[in-house]
Structure 1
């Protein structure tokens, strides 16, 4: 699939708007088990990305992803900036304008490993990784209706963090009290996957 300027622009706009629209929900989730700033931090970062959409979209896909990652590192506060920044920076290292699903999956797998290393976390720790890992599995599976399956996988995975006890992040300080709440990072990751899948569906 060729990721041309139009698709790059649509991806930026879709993801940024989804995060901005969900900022209050993310803040509410984070208020329950964190510092209460996840929504505002993510909104600030993706507002900056959205403001630069035209400039970013003119870049090659790899340069574009790298620039998005750098913007998030600089603009998003807390732990989320470095983690989401690492995700995009890693993707930017290996993706070109013409990519296959298999290449995207391999790049996403490497990006997940980079996030694990950056956050010293793993699947099952009640973090964004608990969404990204099953989404990777769905992506590797491919097949018809992939965008819808990616969205459904991300949705279920975010919901599956509710009964988890947090092992990493601010929520881990609460111990058992973190149980019963959706992880805000898992929810923001779900929103990103959902937006990307919508663009994929529109390109099919």
Structure 2
């Protein structure tokens, strides 16, 4: 098993563990099923990772995860997260190594996919309010002179701050947008799931 597949397994376990928390957050401003949908999808991801013929191929791993999420995660999250993994796979080589530059390139592709699929931008109270600050920690000039693990630590903090930021703004996308100003004060569930996914990856890689 490769480090990437082990990292994704850690991410999946985090989502399964926080399923009820994510659904409780979603119940405040959405349908209340974000955790259920995410857990269903990442449960399926765990199953397919066990069956992969070439887990050492990061391009294949990311593509398989993207397809699995698209097929198994309901609501808006499935198309967005699925697209993110697929676009990252498109930008990934079959022998990709974990470096600041590779994280920068793959996150850039994933975020571009989410923006196009969701017609969203930073400040709309979505997962992008976490993913874009994470990505910035791996770009110049932020990452200059830093090690990979310093960038990961900075990005973990940026993810937490991104979630807090979503409390201060009104939702402009999805069902939460129907609430308008009443959505202020609540975290965006997609931002929280993105933060938790990165936290799981950071904790695993930092071991």
TM-score band by shorter chain is over 0.9
In structure 2, what is the equivalent of residue 138 of structure 1?
Answer: 137
Moved more, 48-57 or 107-116: 48-57
1:64 aligns to 2:95 (yes or no):
no
Count how many residue pairs are aligned between Structure 1 and Structure 2.
198
Moved more, 124-133 or 104-113: 104-113
TM-score (norm 2): 0.91
In structure 2, what is the equivalent of residue 98 of structure 1?
Answer: 96
Secondary structure class of the residue paired with 2:185 = coil
Gaps of 5+ in 1: none
In structure 1, what is the equivalent of residue 5 of structure 2?
Answer: 9
How many Å separate the matches in 2 of 1:92 and 1:201? 23
Q: Deviations over 1:83-107 (max 9, x none)?
A: 0000000000111233332132022
1:127 aligns to 2:132 (yes or no):
no
1:76 aligns to 2:76 (yes or no):
no
How many Å separate the matches in 2 of 1:137 and 1:12? 21
Gaps of 5+ in 2: none
Instruction: Note if contact 1:147-1:198 (Cα within 8 Å) is conserved in structure 2.
Output: no
* Match among 32, 38, 47 for residue 36 of structure 1: 32
Q: Deviations over 1:97-138 (max 9, x none)?
A: 333321320221121011001001110000000000010111
Instruction: Note if contact 1:19-1:46 (Cα within 8 Å) is conserved in structure 2.
Output: yes
Taking only aligned residues, the RMSD between alpha carbons, in angstroms, comes to 1.4
- Structure 1 residues 56 and 162: alpha-carbon distance in aligned structure 2, compared to 1, 3 A threshold: farther
TM-score (norm 1): 0.92
Q: Deviations over 1:5-33 (max 9, x none)?
A: 33023112100001111111100110000
Instruction: Note if contact 1:9-1:57 (Cα within 8 Å) is conserved in structure 2.
Output: no
